[in-house]
Amino acid sequence: MTETELHENLHPDDGYRVVVVDNRPISVAVYGEIFAKGRSISTLFPNLPDAVLLYEARAEQGREFGAAQRVQHLADAVFRFLNTGGTREELAETLKTLRPLIAAPLTIPDGYYLLESYLNTDNVYEHVFVSDAQDEAVVWVENTFVDLVPWQEIVRRLGDNGKLDSAAFVERLYAGREEEDLRALPEGVDSAGDPPA
């Protein structure tokens, strides 16, 4: 193959890729798309779509933003497999082989759901799970530690890693819970639990 033949058939932006349209707190959408010979695949094969919506979460489904990230991680891995020469048949066979291994999912504490999953500043995957009812979040830094962490520390970690929308979500979550707690106090009792002077 000559260099000219290579460049006629393979372009740097060819391949499968994940596109995330992140408009939090309004919505998060995860798309898969494919380019070939430097163009959208539908210009070469009109019967194929340019992109496919893989997952969408909206404001009223705030708990689903983490699920959108799970789908993004899966699509990233599958697309990297395909972009490196893997085929659909190989992918199906690999998933079939993996099936016994993934039969039992990891146990996330009851009531917790994924808020964020990202490569942190140390280039290690960090997963943040929050709860609508608990005062602390679960932070799992893969191969490093897993711990219960006060929500203020979660806000700091998210901010340090550029996840400001999720930091704001945590602040709103806990501010809303504190307001609820105050409304539940008996009349004439302040937030410290003391009766008025």
Residues 76, 33: contact at Cβ < 8 Å?
Answer: no
Rounded-to-integer distance, Cα 137 and Cα 170, Å: 9
What pLDDT does residue 185 have? 46
* pLDDT, one tens digit for every residue, the chain (197 residues): 888 888 877 888 888 999 999 888 788 999 999 888 877 777 777 777 778 999 999 877 667 889 999 999 999 999 999 999 999 999 999 999 998 888 767 788 888 999 999 999 899 999 999 988 888 899 999 999 999 999 899 999 999 988 888 888 888 888 877 665 545 545 554 555 555 55
pLDDT at position 189, please?
A: 47
- 123: nearest Cα among 146, 153, 143, 149: 143
Separation of alpha carbons 39 and 53, rounded Å:
19
What one-letter code names the amino acid at 182? L
Cis bond before residue 25 (omega within 30° of 0): yes
Task: Check residue 14 and give its pLDDT.
Answer: 86
Q: What type of residue is 17?
A: R
pLDDT at 137: 92
Structure tokens given for 47: 């019967």
User: Where does residue 180 rank: exposed (0-12), middle (13-18), buried (19+ CB within 10 A)?
Assistant: exposed
| pLDDT on residue 186 | 52
pLDDT of residue 140: 94
Conformational region of residue 111, where left means phi above 0, alpha means psi within -120 to 50, and beta covers everything else: left
Residue type, 25: P
Q: With 0-12 CB in 10 A as exposed, 13-18 as middle and 19+ as buried, what is 154?
A: buried
